């Protein structure tokens, strides 16, 4: 029945009030069903519009056909492999472990040692170990060639006292190989409470065999700036890392040196693995004229953003900067700014070469993804990644500074012949004891030199090089390296030449 028929029926009823109102609207079964269906659609439509449109909408509609994951063709192979594994692998499959492994595989495929993934458990362990204390061995590390490489030991740390050097490879921790581990995974094995000991297998040089180094963990120094007055009014400031408080520490150190009569300054970032970008900016700003570039940041698909020096406090005394192969990241930002925008002379050896910036992100399940998100450039737009910054005046370390560790548990005595004995003879000779010919043969002359060393160390004179005697030998060598510092001596010489011009 259409609307016209309904209207005529109603009019007939109204005009004939005395008739019995016993008439009904007659509908065929199909028409009745269609009417009910239409009412349902209308009601649903009104409800949909009310709930999903306007300022008071309470439902956000998502079209499942627009699900991005289903449209990502690059994941087709992954889904197929995953389904095949779930269906046909002979044993139960741990889905969480599989997904973590897949993410790790993606990150590893980048070939970037600075990008990393930690699952929920690993991220929690690392955060707890970092927040609870500053205890460990005190060394900046990175993944390199499948192993963990030392970027730089921290000043006055157990790692420095044990003689770790930049580019030393750590092949095992407590006898367990760490080949293939990320730097974050290695940290979890190396870090530990004060007083505990960790055994590291260290490989130094291309042909050298790994040797064991036992390091007692300790509290890691939180001071990052060490200042001293040298002769001729020359101040020497060693910055060991770029942490949150380094800028204030540096200002305090500079003020103290000025009170002591400083007329020129050596800034030393050797063995400084870097740190916070903000700290590098503030410190670089101290030594660069207002308006000149400090460095540039280049993110994906964008033009480099230039950071320029401000009109804040400046250091206005003659200056040189000392760098080495342990100077990385933020240290290189400072070196680039001073070299290219301030004309500062750089002395030492080529820096490490890290020209990227990392950004960590906590994922919803507590895991953590750290990705390289940008690269930084020097003021003139040079990217120093994997190349480093060359000094203006190259001054290498003395050869004895690169001698390998001596294992204190190894007994060396008369009659032995080995390359390790030869290294011990070189050490003895450098610190003033005469082992005879440095030929790797432990003879009477070598034994006599060891006895003289033991006497000076107040140790029983057995002539056997082992234990405390070996440790004492390496400690005397470390002091020798520190006192006869050719790079620092050259820096003093350059400054005096500048002042006397």
Tell me which residues are annotated as active site: 329, 340, 354
Q: How many CB atoms lie within 10 A of CB 121?
A: 13
Looking at the DSSP bridge assignments, the partners of residue 305 are 297
Could you tell me where the DSSP H helices lie in 367-443?
419-430
Burial 440-468 (b: 16+ CB within 10 A, else e): bbbbebbbbbbbbbbeebeeeeebbbbee
CA dihedral (477, 479, 483, 488) in degrees, to 10, reads 90
The answer to whether 138 touches 221, Cβ cutoff 8 Å, is yes
Q: Which candidate, 128, 125, 136, 123, places its Cα nearest to that of 191?
A: 136
Burial of 230 (0-12, 13-18, 19+ CB in 10 A): middle
Q: Which candidate, 238, 271, 274, places its Cα nearest to that of 257?
A: 238
The answer to whether 223 touches 249, Cβ cutoff 8 Å, is yes
Cα gap 129→139, rounded to integer Å: 15
List % helix, strand, coil for the chain (3-state, nearest 5).
40, 20, 40
- SS3 assignment, position 337: helix
Six token digits for residue 362: 């906590």
The distance of Cα 497 from the centroid of its chain, to the nearest Å, equals 38
Could you tell me where the DSSP H helices lie in 136-262?
158-161, 183-190, 246-259
Q: Which candidate, 190, 156, 150, 154, places its Cα nearest to that of 173?
A: 190
Burial of 357 (0-12, 13-18, 19+ CB in 10 A): middle
- SS3 assignment, position 265: strand
Angle at 226 between CA 353 and CA 474, to 5 degrees: 75
Q: Which residues contact 32 (CB under 8 A, 6 or more apart)?
A: none
Six token digits for residue 85: 């594994």
Six token digits for residue 259: 């009170």
């Amino acid at each position: 029945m259409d609307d016209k028929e309904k209207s005529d029926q109603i009019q007939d009823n109204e005009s004939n009030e005395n008739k019995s109102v016993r008439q009904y609207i007659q509908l065929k079964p199909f028409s009745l069903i269609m009417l009910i269906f239409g009412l349902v659609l209308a009601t649903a439509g009104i409800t949909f519009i009310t709930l999903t449109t306007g300022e008071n909408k309470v439902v956000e509609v998502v079209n499942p056909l627009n699900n991005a994951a289903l449209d990502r063709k690059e994941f087709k192979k992954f889904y197929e492999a995953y389904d095949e594994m779930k269906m046909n692998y002979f044993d139960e499959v741990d889905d969480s472990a599989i997904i973590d492994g897949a993410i790790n595989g993606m990150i590893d495929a980048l070939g970037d040692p600075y990008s990393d993934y930690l699952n929920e458990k690993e991220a929690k362990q690392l955060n707890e170990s970092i927040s609870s204390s500053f205890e460990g061995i005190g060394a900046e590390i990175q993944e390199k060639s499948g192993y963990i490489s030392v970027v730089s030991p921290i000043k006055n740390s157990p790692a420095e006292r044990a003689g770790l050097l930049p580019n030393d490879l750590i092949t095992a921790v407590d006898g367990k190989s760490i080949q293939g581990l990320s730097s974050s995974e290695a940290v979890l094995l190396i870090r530990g409470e004060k007083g505990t000991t960790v055994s590291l297998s260290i490989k130094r040089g291309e042909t050298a065999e790994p040797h064991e180094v036992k390091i007692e963990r300790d509290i890691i120094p939180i001071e990052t700036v060490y200042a001293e007055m040298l002769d001729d009014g020359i101040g020497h400031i060693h910055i060991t890392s770029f942490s949150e408080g380094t800028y204030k520490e540096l200002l305090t150190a500079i003020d103290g040196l000025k009170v002591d009569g400083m007329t020129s300054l050596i800034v030393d970032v050797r063995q400084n693995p870097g740190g916070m970008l903000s700290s590098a900016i503030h410190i670089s700003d101290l030594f660069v004229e207002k308006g000149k570039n400090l460095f540039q940041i280049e993110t994906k698909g964008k033009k480099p953003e230039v950071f320029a020096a401000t009109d804040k406090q400046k250091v206005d005394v003659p200056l040189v900067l000392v760098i080495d192969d342990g100077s990385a990241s933020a240290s290189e930002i400072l070196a680039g700014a001073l070299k290219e925008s301030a004309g500062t002379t750089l002395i030492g050896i080529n820096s490490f070469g890290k020209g990227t910036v990392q950004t960590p992100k906590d994922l919803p399940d507590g895991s953590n993804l750290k990705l390289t998100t940008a690269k930084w450039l020097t003021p003139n737009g040079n990217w120093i990644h994997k190349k480093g910054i060359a000094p203006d005046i190259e001054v290498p370390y003395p050869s004895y500074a690169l001698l390998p560790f001596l294992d204190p548990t190894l007994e060396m005595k008369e009659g032995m012949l080995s390359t390790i004995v030869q290294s011990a003879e070189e050490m003895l000779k450098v610190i003033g004891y005469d082992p005879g010919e440095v030929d790797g043969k432990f003879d009477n002359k070598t034994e006599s030199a060891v006895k003289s060393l033991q006497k000076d160390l107040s140790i029983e004179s057995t002539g056997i090089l082992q234990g405390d005697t070996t440790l004492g030998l390496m400690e005397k060598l470390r002091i020798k390296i520190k006192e006869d510092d050719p790079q620092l001596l050259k820096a003093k010489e350059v400054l005096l030449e500048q002042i006397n011009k």
